[in-house]
Chain A
Amino acid sequence: MERSRAEPRLSPYGVPQDAPPTDTPHVVVRWIVWLGVLTVITVVMLTLRPQLDKAHVALGFLIVVLGGSAAGGRALGVALAVLAFILFNYLFLTPYYTFIIGDPLDWLVLVAFLTTGVVAAQLLNRAQERAEIARQRAIEVERLAALGSETLNAGRAEDALLAIAEVIRSTIGVDCCEVLVPRGTPPQLTPLTRAGPCSDGAGAPADVTSPWSLAVWVAEKRAVAAERADGTKWIGAGDHSDELLRWPAEDTEIRTLLAPLIVRDRTVGVLRVSNARPFSLDSGREQFLSALSFYAALGVERVQLVAEAERAEAFRQADTLKSALIAGVSHDLRTPLTTIKALAHSLGEAGSPEALAIEEEADRLNRLVADLLDLSRLNAGAMPMRPEINAAEDLVGAALRRVGGAIDPKRIRVTAGRASANGDGNPVLLGQFDFVQSLRALVNLLENADKYSPPDEPIELTVRRVGDRLQFAVADRGPGVEEAEAVRIFEPFYRAPGVPPDAGGAGLGLAIARRLAAEQGGDVEYEARRGGGSVFTLVLPAADSPPNAG
């Protein structure tokens, strides 16, 4: 609606045949008319010559000169001034019908008349030019306002881009305006949006081959190119010194024009403008095209950003679904385990030794389920991490409590960082880590040590701070790990050679511990223990005390 209202005022930018003001036939007619007016005024004043003063004659001619300049421009005004000067001298200054001037003061009158005429013609013309420029600016502003409102009103990014293409098409006055973007693999330039009937590109690939390859060149070289009316090509290449694009000259007869769409120094597509009849670019259209092609580039970028956001949203939803699925599986597996464990426990209390085995196996199955769920969560990137400032001794305490049922608490010796009874022994060691996941990692290390170490040997847990790291070293007196295997022990489902398959766990403990630590900027490291055995160290980021602890 906005656009159709503005349509009639677009004539200066309409197609070339629509008569711009400098058209030749009109100029000739204006000259003839104003020369006629000059003749009529001269004849009238000639008949009244006895009654007329020199000033009256000068004023009469001046009106003709000003009228001529206003209607026909500077050249007509100056020509009329010169002619009137000659007629004034020949017909109205004594002696009549000669160019001789009797009274020397008449020279002053003549020169003053000529100067006034020429200067007035010039001034009038300049004012008209300014008015015309102002009018064009007003049209541009109105156009941009329409474009802005249409692109802002368009709900979808594609609609906004189509609106821009539509404005370019109607402003330049061509049949078709397209925006081509690279798509597919390998990327090919295909129309993203299309305004107007683009007959040549719609369903005839053979016909579009040449402009399309020219479009690829435009996208690569970031320069304007055009196909002339005679089928030859014009290319605006070569000059990369300035950022401005080179456009075809005003007299180039163009059938198809191609311009790169660049935003933030990135080519996002190609603008293709074509018309059945040849068209040309004047300076106004050229300015408009370079401004609007930037809008089109922003439009393309918006379409691409929206597409990316939609893709990211799809991924996020898939992740949410995955987490929900894992939680659901967890619930479904653990509910029957609870029943089995509890019923076996009751039977065990009633004195059935088989029931105890069932309960133990239920616990083992529960650990396996937990391990598999953790691994799948880690692989899916769905493991939530909430790093917070925690005390190292809190983590150790929770880990000892967690393994308390399976490992004799006296077997684990916490050998360092132990506080003295009154609390001011050594400072509380702090770390920045996710408590739950770090607890899982540390428990896995303790269980691993318990599994491989002889029952009468203690497991030593040492806590210390080294630089900006907290270390929880779990040392056992197990068989240790051969050097060649030291890397592989952290792989999922790895089992040390010679270990029977039912030695508990599925070989996931160390793998999960390391992954959990790595997810929060830590690690699990292995080293051989002096005197035999292994030391697995959980490393986590350390943190500092608050400014005023307590």
Chain B
Amino acid sequence: MVTNEETRAPLFAAVDRRVLVIDDEPNIRRVVKDALRPDVSRVLEARSGSEALSIAAAERPDLIVLDLGLPDMDGIEVCRQLRGWTSAPILVLSARDSETEKTALLDAGADDYVTKPFGPAEFRARVRAQLRRAGMSKVPGGDEPLHVGDLTIDLARRTVTRAGSTVHLTPTEWGLLVAFVKSAGKTITHQQLFRAVWGAAHGDAQQYLRVYVAHLRRKIEPDPYEPKYIVTEPGVGYRFEPEG
């Protein structure tokens, strides 16, 4: 949980950050704007998919908040078109319970989603994670070891230590960890994770993907019943929390 103290302190005050909010509901736009105020210097608003695409092309926002159920276009289509030319993080506001829809959005290039109704604190935390991710130019843990809680992950040397002692991972577990670290802070779908580790066709392994993740958690999480690093996004995939 992010405390009020943290949310009020601007995170990137010095940087000029622009966020595009795409929603046809004026009240939701207002709520999102309020929540963004501490971290963002300018909020652009779009009421429809087509308007959003032209504003995004003209203004080049640093983050895009996209609500589904736009009057003119399918949200997945908007997401796909944006992803065609911009690498700015896309955060989706989803009102529907459908996990398949969220998965489809993430596969279409969205970076994360927040389910309605959401609290401002939760929303802010997700926005910050995305802005931080976008600010990082290099692969985390690539040049220098990544420290997460009591874990130290060194991608170059292919080693993981936990509180100073080496953790022995199988090749599959190592592959999973690398995939998680590379998309730290981002929700990664089962499909994306699977492709990153196994490539295209390995039907049987896909069935056991969650089992391998459970084994990895047992080795790196202090308590696999309350995972801190590899968080489950039910029905969608996982998110690696670099903060721990």
**A positions within 8 Å CB-CB of B:** 327, 330-331, 334-343, 345-346, 349, 359, 362-363, 366, 370, 373, 384, 386, 388-391, 393-394, 396-398, 400-402, 405, 409, 414, 418-419, 421-423, 428, 430, 435-436, 439, 545-546, 549-550
Q: Which residues of chain B are near A439, meaning CB under 8 Å?
A: 234
- Which residues of B207-226 have CB atoms within 8 Å of chain A's CB atoms? 207-208, 210-215, 217-219, 222, 224-226
Contact of B208 among A327, A389, A401, A436 (CB under 8 A): A389
Contact of B224 among A330, A390, A419 (CB under 8 A): A419
How far apart are B211's CB and chain A's nearest CB, in angstroms?
Answer: 6
Q: How far is the CA of A305 from the CA of B214 in the complex (A)?
A: 48
Q: Which residues of chain B are near A335, meaning CB under 8 Å?
A: 25, 28, 69, 95, 116
Known: A391-B211, A401-B232. 19 other contacts (CB 8 A): A327-B96, A335-B28, A335-B69, A336-B27, A337-B116, A338-B31, A339-B30, A339-B31, A341-B118, A345-B121, A362-B117, A386-B235, A388-B207, A394-B213, A401-B231, A419-B218, A422-B219, A549-B211, A550-B172
Question: Can you list the 8 inter-chain pairs with the closest CB atoms, starting with the nearest?
Answer: A391-B214, A436-B235, A423-B218, A342-B31, A550-B170, A338-B117, A339-B27, A546-B208
Q: Which residues of chain A are near B30, meaning CB under 8 Å?
A: 339
Q: Which residues of chain B are near A396, meaning CB under 8 Å?
A: 225
Stretch with Cβ within 8 A of A (4 or more), from B57-65, B84-92, B97-105: B97-105
Q: How far is the CA of A397 from the CA of B35 in the complex (A)?
A: 28
Are B225 and A338 within 8 A (Cβ)?
no
Listed by A's residue number, 10 A-B pairs whose Cβ atoms lie within 8 Å are A335-B25, A337-B117, A338-B116, A401-B232, A409-B226, A419-B218, A421-B222, A423-B215, A428-B211, A550-B172
How far apart are A544's CB and chain B's nearest CB, in angstroms?
Answer: 10
B244 within 8 A of A: no
Q: How far is the CA of A363 from the CA of B116 in the complex (A)?
A: 11
Known: A423-B219, A436-B99. A346 touches B120 (CB 8 A): yes
Q: How far is the CA of A26 from the CA of B222 in the complex (A)?
A: 109
Contact of A334 among B95, B119, B172 (CB under 8 A): B95
Are B95 and A389 within 8 A (Cβ)?
no
B34 within 8 A of A: yes
Q: Which residues of chain A are near B204, meaning CB under 8 Å?
A: 546
Contact of A397 among B27, B95, B97, B226 (CB under 8 A): B226
Q: How many residues of B contact A (CB 8 A)?
A: 49
How far apart are B107's CB and chain A's nearest CB, in angstroms?
Answer: 16
Are A397 and B225 within 8 A (Cβ)?
yes
- Which residues of B179-205 have CB atoms within 8 Å of chain A's CB atoms? 204-205
Q: How far is the CA of A414 from the CA of B224 in the complex (A)?
A: 11
Q: Mark B1-29, 1 if CB is under 8 A from A, else 0.
A: 10010000000000000000000010110
How far apart are A311's CB and chain B's nearest CB, in angstroms?
Answer: 27
Contact of A342 among B120, B224, B226 (CB under 8 A): B120
Q: Which residues of chain A are near B234, meaning CB under 8 Å?
A: 398, 402, 435-436, 439
